[in-house]
Amino acid sequence: MSRGADWLTPDWRVAGVGALMTTRSGGGSSGAFATMNVGTAVGDDAGAVAANRARLAEATGAATVFLRQVHGTRVVRVGRADAAPGAEVYEADGLVTTEPGVACVVQAADCLPVLLAAGDGRAVAAAHAGWRGLAAGVVENAVDSLCQAGRCAPGEVAAWLGACIGPDAFEVGADVPAAFGAAGPGAASHRFKARGAAKWHADLAGLARDRLAAAGVTRISGGAWCTVSDGSRFFSYRRDGVTGRMAAAVWIVAR
């Protein structure tokens, strides 16, 4: 497998399942997109993006399926026929597959990628969780779709959280804690720290952990990296404005 030396991999052990998240390294883009940008709509050279997506496919050994992400809650079931590395076939923020050799891919540059796998490796899923999608239920929808496809219970699911904006960098207004029911005393209140003048710092990965746990998922790992604070390793839209996109992918290994 060819991959960047500092790409992230889950610490789960799910037989027959592969997973990774790219960083800035290992690609061929330049400038603000250096080097492993997989985003097609950010202003990067199309040829460089295509080559980077090909590198991702080589690293996974699978056919990659990308989405047109809209910060929503739709989760789609995909297969090899949906793999089009240069295009996004579906407008959605989550995808699930039971086909070996098909990689479910979500893009991120501060939002949280969530990778899921049935305990027996029969199904895998990925979700793109910005705060809007997370508050609206994209993670719960992904867990439900995975369990239906894999015929498993949430307690049999392994979840991994990729790199995202960290709790010391994610400053939000009152609309965000309100969306999670944390404007007053509530279950999510501990994920927000008041910063004065109607501002809070939000723990996006922590909020996702809470949603996963409430959905019945007990095997949860990752979420320890901040995209904003580590500019040499991660793209960050909030930090840089014009920037690339990283990819988080999960797949059933083809035998």
DSSP state of 155: G
Cα distances from 229 to residues 143, 166, 215, 240, in angstroms, run 30, 8, 30, 11
Q: In order of start, what are the domains of the chain with their CATH numbers?
A: 17-166+217-252 (3.60.140.10), 167-202 (no CATH)
* pLDDT tens figures, 73-96: 999 999 999 998 777 889 999 999
CB atoms within 10 A of CB 3: 18
Each residue's pLDDT, cut to its tens digit, for the chain (255 residues) gives 457 889 999 999 899 999 999 999 999 999 999 999 999 999 999 999 999 999 999 999 999 999 999 999 999 999 999 998 777 889 999 999 999 999 999 999 999 999 999 999 999 999 999 999 999 999 999 999 999 999 999 999 999 999 999 999 999 999 999 999 986 666 789 999 999 889 999 999 999 999 999 999 999 999 999 999 999 999 999 999 999 999 999 999 998
State if pTM tops 0.95. yes
